[in-house]
Amino acid sequence: MFNRGRFSLLPIALFGLYAVYYYFSNRQTVPITGRKHMVDMNPRQEMALGMQSYRQILSSARVVSSGQSVDLIRDIGRKLARISEDPGFQWEFNLIQSQQVNAFCLPGGKVAVYSGILPVARNANGLAVVMGHEIAHAIARHGAERMAQEKLVRIGQIATGVATNDMDPETRRMVMGAFGLGAQYGMLLPFSREHESEADYMGLVFVARACFDPTEAPKLWERMGEAGGGRGPAEFTSTHPSHTTRIRQFEKWMPEALKIRRDKCGQ
């Protein structure tokens, strides 16, 4: 009879114990939402990596040095930075000439907006929603959390490899493939979507605190959907929530955001 070999539980058990230890020894709290998450990188190291990446991106990009759009981005950025809960960021805001409909904020407060998103943002409130979302990613340390998750997945892959070492090659490939799919669809993608939703919420709070109009957020995502040509991939296969989900979440959070704006700005 064909022998498929034996699956060893010891490496999996040891990995499970390590994963629990790793999580609780590196647990931190996200500002505003209070969510507990796993981050094992020193903030200074994270900011240094952000600065290095930012310089590399700008060195090969067409950076717009002046103009009305640059002034608007920097004005919005300064207002959002003042009300954000940053851990000592050295803020910088730049406009990159590109057709990309995108923006980003790297650790340390290094923000870039691509000119392709300006027509979709349409106005200062829409641009504040875009920038508030990206700034929220950096404040929440989503990049460092994602790196910690990927590190844990790599260790889990090693443990699974050891546990299946005595199996025949075909069965071993099936088990390793199942682990990879489980990690991707059961951990990495759901956490990525959670990060996006968390950044949407935090960004909406920042927009309201900075006295911009939070009601522009769902309108922006309607325009983003139109710019993207309609429906994208199924949500469970995507790193981002669907536009419909995001709009529905913004509508749920809107009463809170409007209250924050009234209390903070009298509007």
194-208 pLDDT tens trace: 889 999 999 999 999
Q: Rounded to whole angstroms, how far apart are CA atoms 53 and 68?
A: 26
- Tokens 């539980």 sit at which residue? 9
**pLDDT for 257:** 97
Domain residue extents for the chain: 9-265
**pLDDT for 233:** 44
Q: Closest by alpha carbon to 190, among 146, 223, 226?
A: 146
Coil, strand, or helix at residue 263? helix
pTM score, two decimals?
A: 0.81
194 Cβ neighbours under 8 A, 6+ residues apart:
none
Report the Cα 29 to chain-centroid distance in Å.
15
Q: Rounded to whole angstroms, how far apart are CA atoms 137 and 188?
A: 16
**pLDDT for 80:** 97
The answer to whether 69 and 53 are in contact (CB under 8 A) is: no
**pLDDT for 3:** 45
**pLDDT for 237:** 39
Q: Which of 92, 134, 145, 198 is catalytic?
A: 134
**pLDDT for 182:** 60
Query: Would residue 134 show up in a list of annotated catalytic residues for this protein?
Result: yes
Q: Rounded to whole angstroms, how far apart are CA atoms 240 and 198?
A: 11
Residues of the chain with pLDDT under 50: 1-3, 232-237
**pLDDT for 173:** 73
Q: What are phi and psi of 256, to 5 degrees?
A: -65, -45
**pLDDT for 198:** 95
**pLDDT for 20:** 80
